[in-house]
Structure 1
């Protein structure tokens, strides 16, 4: 074997080795690119989830801070007079007692009244020898379409 043949053989080995290294680098680069793409997709999903949770938190805080009515029945004296009072922080409009026990035993029930915070509406709940006084009244107001039970003290 002559010197030129040895040099050609070494050049061939170096070229093949370079090709293998180049091919391996390309495969690794492809894997790296795929991993980066998966990571970016996961990051985008995580960011979207964080934004959704933050919006839900802001909405819940806004709802909690929003003034709301809180209706209660009070009995200021031990007679037949009662007061439907708004103990909440917001105005209650369209307040109506829809059921106050047996018919004919309630007087001056609120019908479509507005109660500011702290304001009350006086009404009468009567009892009789045959019928006990109501233990609850049912009321609805704007924003509360389904009547809710309010305990009578």
Structure 2
């Protein structure tokens, strides 16, 4: 066998060894990539769960129109818009004629108020809340008297 053939055979064997080693490293690299992709997916799922839990833990936002009632005088009350938005066409349920609105407003801006009286007769003794509606809030909101 000539030395050229031996050299060619040596180069071929070396190429085979390098090729086998490269295939092994490729397989290890592919396995590592798979593990990395699975870990990234688990991390993304955990992050989504954490974000959902954090969102669920947040208190609900304040309604844009909120009311607070305080007494004024013997039978009078002031109902103030404590929210951030105006309330249009505010209406108090008169509770069978026992509540009289003194100053009716088309618009009650934030910080503004509506004054009303409660007629104090035996039938009205149990009134401890008012029911309020306004444009966009057809279902009455119950506001306690304080």
Common topology (TM > 0.5): yes
Change (3 A) 1:109 1:137: farther
* Stretches of structure 2 lacking an aligned partner (at least 5 in a row): none
- 1:117 is the counterpart of 2:110: yes
| Structure 1 residue 108, shift from structure 2 partner | 2.3
In structure 2, which of residues 133, 137, 143 is the aligned counterpart of residue 150 of structure 1? 143
* Stretches of structure 1 lacking an aligned partner (at least 5 in a row): none
- 1:75 is the counterpart of 2:68: no
**Distance in 1 separating the partners of 2:94 and 2:129:** 7
| Structure 1 residue 86, shift from structure 2 partner | 1.2
What's the Cα RMSD here?
Answer: 4.2
Deviation per CA, 1:8-46, whole angstroms, max 9, x where unpaired?
567535523421321331342355357557757938x85
Number of matched residues? Answer: 134
Match of 2:132 in 1: 139
TM-score (norm 2): 0.62
Aligned 8 A contact 1:92 1:115 in 2 = yes
Corresponding residue SS for 1:24: helix
